Amino acid sequence: MERWARAKYQPVLPLGEDGRRITGSREHIMLSKDAAKEGMVLLKNQGNVLPLAKGSRVALFGKATIDYVKGGGGSGDVTVAYARNLYEGLKQKAGHVEIFEELALFYKENVKGQYAKGRGPGMTVEPALPEELLKKARAFTDTAIISICRYSGEGWDRKSIYDKKNKTDDMVIAGLEQRQDAEEEVFEEGDFYLTHAEKAMVESVKNSFPRVIVVMNVGGMVDTDWFAGEDKIQAVLMAWQGGIEGGLAAAELLIGEGSPSGKLSDTFAKRLEDYPSTYNFHESDDYVEYTDDIYVGYRYFETIPGAADKVNYPFGFGLSYTKFSLSVPVVEKGEHDLRVMVDVCNVGAVAGKEVVQVYYSAPQGRLGKPARELAAFCKTRLLQPGETQTVTLRIDINDMASYDDLGKVVKSAYVLERGEYRFYVGTSVRDTVESSYVMVLNEDVVTEQLSPKMVPTQLSKRMLADGSFEELPQGEPVDTDASVFAAKLSEKETAGVTPVVRRRESYRLWGDIDNRPKLIDVAEGRMTLEEFVAQLPDEQLAELLGGQPNTGVANTFGYGNLPDYGVPNIMTADGPAGVRIAPQCGVCTTAWPCSFMLACSWNPELAERVGEAGSAEAKENNIGAWLTPAINIHRSPLCGRNFEYYSEDPYLTAKMAGAMVTGIQSNHVAATVKHFALNNKETNRTESDSRASERAIREIYLKAFERIVKEAKPWSIMSSYNIINGHRASENREMLEDILRGEWGFEGMVTTDWWAHSEHYKETKAGNDVKMACGFPGRLLEAMEKGALTRGEMEICARRILGLILRID
C-alpha cells in the first residue's frame, strides 16, 4: 500500500489473515474474556464454596444479575454488538449449573422497565424482593449468588456530584447528564456504600440461604465491610467491569473453568472515610490539596500508625482455587541492581497462576519513607498441580531513591539515604517473608541531581511517615489567565468547537506541475524534516498546530492535514476500554476489560496482547492514534475515572500500561499516554488546581509517566485539563519541556486534552505541540505579530507533530 493510504483514502481493508475483519472478531472477544478472567479477584472463599460443583442449583439475586456494566462512561465507553451479563454467562454453562428462572425473570423485567424509563446500566434502582419469590428460591436451592454493580464516567466524580457545589464543569459529556442527576435518588450515602434497598436485599438473602456468594461488577474501590467479616457470606468474586464478555468470564470462574489469579491493584479499606484523601476531596471545586503527600494507598495504610487496622483487603491480595508455596528467596547484588530468585510450587489440586511480589523497606532517614514499596513482580505461567517455576525478578537499586525537595539531605536530588534496605517477597503487601539479605549503605548516595520544578504555591502542609504534618515553603503564585490578548476566548468560542474544514483551491488532475515539497520526501530521505517545516508558510504552520476535521468513522478529530504538502489527516479515537466509534457508524468494536481490571491481572504480557489487538482494530478502521492508556493514580475512591486508570501504585501502573503502549505501537498506531498530570478529580476538571509537593509529584504522580517514557517510548502524551500548583498543565513548560523532555528524554508529541481552557500560544511556547480538538491558528499568528510567540517555537511543535505522523503506517 501507498504510505498513509488508510489516512488518505479511508479504505475498508480487513487485517485478518484470511481476509476477514478483525474488529469485534471472535478471536478478540475471546481474548477480552480471558483477560477479564485473569483480572478478577477472589477475595473470600470460606469452606471452598467455590467453584460450584457440576449439577449445582443457584438463585441469582440483585438487579446487577441483569443490569451489567461492561465499563465506564465518556471516552471509556465502546460501541459493541452485545454485552453479556452474569445470567447470560451462567446460561451458557447450563450443563454445569441450573438457574432458578422465575427469580431471573423478575429481575429481567424490572431492569427492562427501568431502561425503558431512561435509566442506564449501573444507575438502576434495586427493586424490593418479593417475600414469596424469596421462599420459592430457597425451596429450589441452598446457594444464592448476589450481584452488585456500579457505574461512573468521565466528567463527574462519585458520591456528591448531585450537590450544586459539586456539579460537573461546563464540559459535561453528552448523554451522561441524566445518569449524574440520578445519583442522589439511587445512592443515598454515595455509591461507595450499598443503597438502602441493596442492604435490605442482602439481609434477606443471607438470612435465608446457608451458602451465599457475592459477585461485584464494579470499576473501582467500594465498601467491602458488609461482607469481609460476615460469616453468612462465604465467597466474594470481584468481577469488576469485564468488557463485552464479563458475564461469561465470571460464570466460568464460578464453576471452576479456570482458577482466579487476579490481585488487588488498590487497597480496600473498611470505610470510605479511612482513605486520607476523602476528607478534602470535595472540599472545593477550585482546588484539591494533596496533603497525604507520598502516602497514597498502601503507602499510607502500611506506614501511618493505626492505619493498618483500617484495611479489609491489602494491596496485592487475591485468592485462588489452588495453593502455592514459595521457597526462601535468594537475593544477589550486582553493580547496579539486585536479583531476587524464588521457586513457586503449585501444592494444590488444580492448575493456577501466582503473582510473586517484591517490596523493599528503605531507612526512614531524614526524609521519611513508606514502610514498604513495590519493587518488582512476576506472574507465573499456568502451573499444574505439583509443578514448580523459578522466578527471577530484577530491582534497579537507584529506583529505591527518594526525592529531597526541601534540602534535608541534598536539595532537588534523588537520594539513597544511608542505612539498611530490607526486602520482602510474597503474594501481597502483607503476605510476605523477609529476605535474609540486607543492603547496607554507610553514606548517603545521590543518584540524580535535578533542580526545583513544579513547586507548590498554595499547599501549606504535608503528611509525614508518623502521621504528623510539616509546613511547606511556598513558591511564587502565577496568574494563569495572563495573556497578550485583551480578552480570553469565551466558552461559546471554544467548548465543543470543531475544526474548520478549510477550502482548497481548485487544481488540475494532470498537466500542472506542483513543485512544493511533500512529506513523503522526508519519509524517503530526500529532505530533512527541518527543511520541510522551514518552507511551510506561516498560515499552514499555524493550522498544523491544531486539530483537524473528522474523516471516516472518527469522532475525535485528526492531526496533520496539509494536503498541498502531502501531509495526511491522521485520525484519532478514544477508548481506554476499546476503540470508540459512534453507534451511528454501524461499526462494533471489542470492549476490553477496564484498565483497573487489567491492572489486577498483574500480567504485562496479557496487557501487551490487549494493546496489540485493540490497535489492530484502530488501524483496520483507519485510525492512526489511539487515545490510551490513561494512567492517573488512584488517589481517592471518589474519582469518577478510576475505572480507566490502573492503580494506586506507580510501578504497577507503569509496567501494565507500558506493556499496553508496546502492544499498541507494534501495529504502527500511536499510543497516547494520558492525562499528564495529577488529573485525579473530574469535578471542575478544567479549572481545578491540584496542589501537591514536588516530592509527591515526582515520586507518585509523575513516576508512572517517567517509567513508561523511558521503557516503552510512547509516541504521544496527552496533557491534562487541570491546573497544577497554579500552572495550567498544558501551559506548564517546566513539566512538558524541563521534566518530560529534558530529564526523561521524551521524543514524541504532546497533545492537549480536548477543548482545554488554556491559551493556544502559551501551550505552544510550553512545548504542548497540538491543541485538540480545535486549534486557533489566527490567534497564534496574532501572538506572533505581538512578539509573544516566535515562528521558531511553532516550527519545533510542527516537527514533533510531523514526526508522529512519520511513525504511523
The catalytic site residues sit at: 753
Rg of the chain taking only CA atoms, in angstroms? 27
Q: Is 447 exposed, middle or buried (0-12, 13-18, 19+ CB in 10 A)?
A: middle
Cβ-Cβ contacts under 8 Å for 402 (sequence gap 6 or more): 362, 365, 367, 369, 414, 415, 416, 417, 695, 699
- CA 81, CA 189: separation in Å to the nearest integer? 34
List % helix, strand, coil for the chain (3-state, nearest 5): 30, 20, 50
How many residues make up the chain in this entry? 809
Question: What grid cell was written down for 568?
Answer: 495526511
Helix, strand or coil for residue 407? coil
Neighbours of 415 (CB within 10 A): 22
Cβ-Cβ contacts under 8 Å for 460 (sequence gap 6 or more): 471, 472, 474
CA angle, corner 742, sides to 741 and 744, nearest 5? 65
Cβ-Cβ contacts under 8 Å for 20 (sequence gap 6 or more): 14
Q: Which DSSP symbol is given to 456?
A: -
- CA 649, CA 632: separation in Å to the nearest integer? 10
Cα 584 off chain centre by: 27
Q: Please give the order of strands across the beta sheet that includes 445-449.
A: 402-404, 413-416, 445-449
- CA 34, CA 258: separation in Å to the nearest integer? 10
The DSSP code sequence of 90-124 is HHTTTTTEEE-HHHHHHHHHHHHHHHHTT--TT-P
- CA 515, CA 527: separation in Å to the nearest integer? 14
- CA 47, CA 735: separation in Å to the nearest integer? 53
Whether 244 contacts 36, CB under 8 Å:
no
Half-sphere exposure of 525 (CA within 13 A, CB side): 0
Question: What grid cell was written down for 359?
Answer: 517490596
Neighbours of 446 (CB within 10 A): 13
Cβ-Cβ contacts under 8 Å for 587 (sequence gap 6 or more): 23, 24, 79, 553, 581, 621
Pick from 151, 717, 655, 59: which is nearest to 357 by CA? 655
Whether 768 contacts 730, CB under 8 Å:
yes
